Amino acid sequence: MNSLEFEEYIVNNVEKAITNSWIKIFYQPIMRVKSDKLSGLEALARWEDPVYGLLIPDDFLPVLEKHGVVHHLDSFAVMEVCKLLRERLNNDKAVVPISINLSEKDFELCDIFEVVDSIVTKYEITKEFINVEVTESAFARDSEKLREGIEKFRDAGYQLWVDDFGSRSSLNVLTDYDFYGIKIDVDFIREFTKKAVSIIKSVASMAKGIGIQTLAEGVETEKELDFLKAIGFEKIQGDIFGKPLPLSQCMEELENKGVVIETPNESGVSGDSYSGEVAYTIERDEAAAEKIRNLNMKWKQLYDIYNGVYLLNLDEDSFEVLYGVAENGEAIKGSIKGITSDHADRFVFAEDSKHYLKFFEAETLEQKINGSERGFINAYIRTKTPHGDYTWKIYLALMTAPQQALVFVRNADSIKANAWSEYYRNYTDAVRGDLGMELTKDLLWDNLNRNSNLGIFWKDKQRRFVGANQKFMDYYGFKTPADFIGKTDEDMGWHIVSEPYRKDEYRVLREGAVTRRVQGHCIAHGSIRDILASKMPVYDNGRIIGLVGYFEDITETEQDRARKVDLQETDNLTGLLNIRGMMTATATYKDEYERRGTDFVEVFFSLDNFEELKNLHGHAFGDEILYACGKKLANGFGTTATLVRYSGDDFMAFTQFMNPREVDAFAAKVRRLVSEIHNVNGYNCTLYPSLGVVKYSEIKDINKMHDIGHMRMQEEREMHKRNMS
């Protein structure tokens, strides 16, 4: 094969190959290690050429990149993937996230984000089903266009993966960008040399430490698979599970092997999916980044030890992150007292809070450090992890200049942590003395259980009942604890819809959340009852070991409220106005039009993929979507618009205007706010609204105004459907 002749052929025929379907998209399975279920697919191009036969990407991709036409191929691949997903969704077939590969050249040759996002939007694919992969080598030149494009994808809600991680032996890509995961080709461990095994173990450990997912590709043997499972890789891809094939053949092979497809609820995909003991990112503020660059190599070595470095300017009362992030994933900067007080309230174990605040006390910090023989001070503080547990961390502070301190944070040594815990116990005993010694915790708990009018219960980490008080047992008619101990809510079958309770309990057990007076329904003594349930984590030295909760029966109260619901003007689910509230509001707008000629506009909008998302995530997820829409709209418009949940997933937004440009801007803002929702209750999703816009002055009739708004919304929805074909 003549190299120059082959190159010329590829470049001249790539568009023809796309048009004539010589280029096809094959799919390779991605399996989740923990469950052995199909968790994703990677889209890979194959060129079946009438002259050269079957070509794989290594044959033609370098040529397309060299001659600046690779973006045509990658755009085609995205289009084919979205068409496939839309077809399966329309036919109620199971779908999993599909990974698409982008070249570094894509970011230079076109606005590849706009290309991908417009295709995804055209086919109304929720972004949890599109993973974007970029090879590590693409980041070697630190292209500004690449950086901007990557940020656009991340901000829009796409999951980003580094492909071929380790090919350039560079860790800068993980500090300069935020990624969901890394893909590692395991070809180099085939011989299982001691060095290769140590390297991949270190990579897996590092990835867990910084809270990103790991996927091993190129896995071919059981030996490789067992090893990767043992060291904690989350996902596996390779010929051991299936070669790249057309989707129908790929799915048929998996079905023949008995492989189960993972549901979206099982995937654990979320806006907070950058999970792990700690989740870090580098502070994007340029001033802070410059400070990092200016620190000498001595500080750089410390970064390998500590997972957080903070700069305190005592004179200016400022607290700034130099390295690491806050627990909520956002870089922080503000006053010392403001930052530390907020952190203490949200993340510090209650018993350690006072000591933590004392440590950061700006008025005495420099004096304490300078007075120390070691030249620094430290403290052991129990700090909440993303999973809700508390782990011991050591805080170390030293002065770098007058009125300027650096604080380093890392996980604490368990022996020292235990010693610090012993100090707290001794301190507490000394302070308490003999005061109230007879009121022991066991005695208080026993009396609360026996005499409380609340139904109290407690569960283990797997949501199984461990015990409950007499009120709880009487309410449900249990004669002995054996009737419910060791069982979950689902085992008992007493909830009309159990999913919201399950999700709440997982939030308590995995994130340390506290849920208060959550309304729901249960079956007791043969009747449906309305209850308010509250749940909170149970800690053992900072580690969540279960939950405790209680409920109140409000059946009669709710029945009274239901009889008065026709007098309410607020939708209970979203907090927006209901139909009655809308009638009052539009009457006021109409009055203003007739008195002063101030026109107003109605935007009637609905969610194209509402039913689709409910089918994917469950019926209860629909309510969460509606709640998220209401909250987003209310926050986005404040007092500048009247917002209504009309019925189901139909909403309305009203505002007065002075010129047509304001109408267009108002409708565009409604569309933008809804489209910006990328995460609902921990699940990545994308909402696609259809809008109907109508001005009151067009018909001067409120009822007809609603009808026309609904009709125009339906017309736009039909247009969206036509665009998909």
CATH value at residue 249: 3.20.20.450
Place of tokens 């809008």: 691
DSSP annotation of 387 reads: T
What is d(CA 378, CA 464) in angstroms, rounded to the nearest whole number? 40
pLDDT band at 570 (very low <50, low <70, confident <90, very high): confident
What is d(CA 66, CA 554) in angstroms, rounded to the nearest whole number? 70
Q: Is residue 269 part of a domain?
A: no
Residues 341 and 385 in one domain: yes
The pLDDT value given to residue 105: 93
Specify the CATH number for the domain of residue 332. 3.30.450.20
Residues 541 and 627 in one domain: no
What is d(CA 129, CA 120) in angstroms, rounded to the nearest whole number? 10
Residues 529 and 464 in one domain: yes
The pLDDT value given to residue 231: 87
- What mean pLDDT value characterizes the chain? 83
**Planar angle of CA 48, 27, 612, nearest 5 degrees:** 130
The pLDDT value given to residue 286: 45
DSSP annotation of 570 reads: B
The pLDDT value given to residue 283: 35
Residues 357 and 295 in one domain: yes
Local structure of 389: helix, strand or coil? coil
Residue at which a domain ends, from 263, 296, 313: 263
Mean pLDDT of 553-561: 65
The pLDDT value given to residue 394: 86
The CA–CA distances, whole Å, from 123 to 379, 610, 688, 719, 725 equal 54, 14, 10, 12, 9
Q: Is residue 45 part of a domain?
A: yes
The pLDDT value given to residue 205: 81
Mean pLDDT of 354-376: 89
> Is 60 exceeded by the pLDDT of residue 301?
no
> Is 90 exceeded by the pLDDT of residue 110?
yes
Q: Is residue 17 part of a domain?
A: yes
| Higher local confidence (pLDDT), 580 or 307 | 580
Residues 203 and 295 in one domain: no
Residues 575 and 426 in one domain: no
Q: Is residue 243 part of a domain?
A: yes
Specify the CATH number for the domain of residue 644. 3.30.70.270
Do residues 479 and 564 touch, judged by C-beta distance below 8 A? no
What is d(CA 399, CA 55) in angstroms, rounded to the nearest whole number? 62
pLDDT band at 418 (very low <50, low <70, confident <90, very high): low
The CA–CA distances, whole Å, from 101 to 136, 151, 253 equal 12, 16, 24
**Cα–Cα nearest to 490, from 482, 500, 478:** 500
Residue at which a domain ends, from 373, 399, 432: 432
pLDDT band at 439 (very low <50, low <70, confident <90, very high): low
- Other CB atoms within a 10 A radius of the CB of residue 586 amount to 22
Place of tokens 């007080």: 341
Local structure of 662: helix, strand or coil? helix
**Cα–Cα nearest to 456, from 430, 429, 476, 436:** 476
Residues 541 and 413 in one domain: no
Q: Which two tokens stand for residue 72?
A: 């045509």
The CA–CA distances, whole Å, from 518 to 145, 161, 452, 484, 535 equal 47, 37, 19, 22, 9
For 666-697, what is each residue's pLDDT tens digit? 999 999 999 999 888 777 889 999 999 999 99
What is d(CA 80, CA 119) in angstroms, rounded to the nearest whole number? 10
Mean pLDDT of 198-224: 86
Do residues 324 and 407 touch, judged by C-beta distance below 8 A? no
Do residues 378 and 395 touch, judged by C-beta distance below 8 A? yes
For 441-492, what is each residue's pLDDT tens digit? 777 777 777 778 888 999 999 899 999 988 888 888 888 888 899 998 888 7
| Higher local confidence (pLDDT), 642 or 527 | 642
For the ranges 136-145, 235-244, 631-640, the lowest mean pLDDT is seen at 136-145
Do residues 215 and 14 touch, judged by C-beta distance below 8 A? no
Judge residue 373's burial from the number of C-beta atoms within 10 Å of its C-beta, 0-12 exposed, 13-18 middle, 19 or more buried.
exposed
Number of H helices, E strands in the chain: 28, 26
pLDDT band at 277 (very low <50, low <70, confident <90, very high): very low
pLDDT band at 302 (very low <50, low <70, confident <90, very high): very low
User: What is the torsional sign of CA 180, 186, 188, 193?
Assistant: positive
Residues 427 and 520 in one domain: no
pTM of the model: 0.60
For the stretch 556-561, contacts whose Cβ atoms lie closer than 8 Å and that sit 24 or more positions apart, written own/partner, are 557/530, 558/530
**Cα–Cα nearest to 237, from 41, 486, 503, 510:** 41
> Is 80 exceeded by the pLDDT of residue 333?
no
Do residues 601 and 685 touch, judged by C-beta distance below 8 A? no
Judge residue 379's burial from the number of C-beta atoms within 10 Å of its C-beta, 0-12 exposed, 13-18 middle, 19 or more buried.
middle
Please report, as a single letter, which amino acid is at residue 211: G
Residues in the chain: 725
Name the domain count of the chain: 4
- φ, ψ of residue 315 to 5 degrees: the values are -70, -40
Please enumerate in sequence order all residues whose Cβ is within 8 A of that of 66, keeping only pairs 6 or more positions apart, or say none. Answer: 7
The pLDDT value given to residue 352: 87
For 585-598, what is each residue's pLDDT tens digit? 888 889 889 988 99
pLDDT band at 555 (very low <50, low <70, confident <90, very high): confident
> Is 60 exceeded by the pLDDT of residue 282?
no
Mean pLDDT of 282-287: 39
Do residues 681 and 128 touch, judged by C-beta distance below 8 A? no
For 137-168, what is each residue's pLDDT tens digit? 888 777 889 999 999 998 888 999 999 887 66
Residues 34 and 163 in one domain: yes
Residues 554 and 602 in one domain: no
**Cα–Cα nearest to 608, from 699, 710, 720:** 720
Q: Which two tokens stand for residue 540?
A: 């053992």
Percent of the chain predicted with pLDDT > 90: 42
pLDDT band at 325 (very low <50, low <70, confident <90, very high): very low
Residues 483 and 504 in one domain: yes
pLDDT band at 331 (very low <50, low <70, confident <90, very high): very low
> Is 60 exceeded by the pLDDT of residue 565?
no
The pLDDT value given to residue 358: 92
Residues 342 and 413 in one domain: yes
Do residues 531 and 550 touch, judged by C-beta distance below 8 A? no
Q: Is residue 272 part of a domain?
A: no
Tell me the pairing of strands 159-163 and 181-185. parallel
For residue 619, the enclosing domain spans 565-724
What is d(CA 395, CA 393) in angstroms, rounded to the nearest whole number? 6
Judge residue 398's burial from the number of C-beta atoms within 10 Å of its C-beta, 0-12 exposed, 13-18 middle, 19 or more buried.
middle
The pLDDT value given to residue 328: 40
pLDDT band at 190 (very low <50, low <70, confident <90, very high): confident
- φ, ψ of residue 621 to 5 degrees: the values are -65, -30
Please enumerate in sequence order all residues whose Cβ is within 8 A of that of 282, keeping only pairs 6 or more positions apart, or say none. Answer: 175, 176, 289, 292, 323
The pLDDT value given to residue 433: 53
pLDDT band at 298 (very low <50, low <70, confident <90, very high): very low
Q: Which two tokens stand for residue 725?
A: 């074909």
Residue at which a domain ends, from 432, 449, 481: 432
Place of tokens 């108002």: 666
For the ranges 264-273, 380-389, 452-461, 562-571, the lowest mean pLDDT is seen at 264-273
Q: Is residue 189 part of a domain?
A: yes
Local structure of 659: helix, strand or coil? coil
- Other CB atoms within a 10 A radius of the CB of residue 557 amount to 12
> Is 60 exceeded by the pLDDT of residue 293?
no
> Is 80 exceeded by the pLDDT of residue 500?
no
Q: Is residue 280 part of a domain?
A: no
Q: Is residue 27 part of a domain?
A: yes
Percent of the chain predicted with pLDDT > 70: 84
Q: Which two tokens stand for residue 230?
A: 């043992």
Where b means 16+ CB within 10 Å and e means fewer, 588-606 reads: ebbeebeeeeebbbbbbbb
The pLDDT value given to residue 297: 43
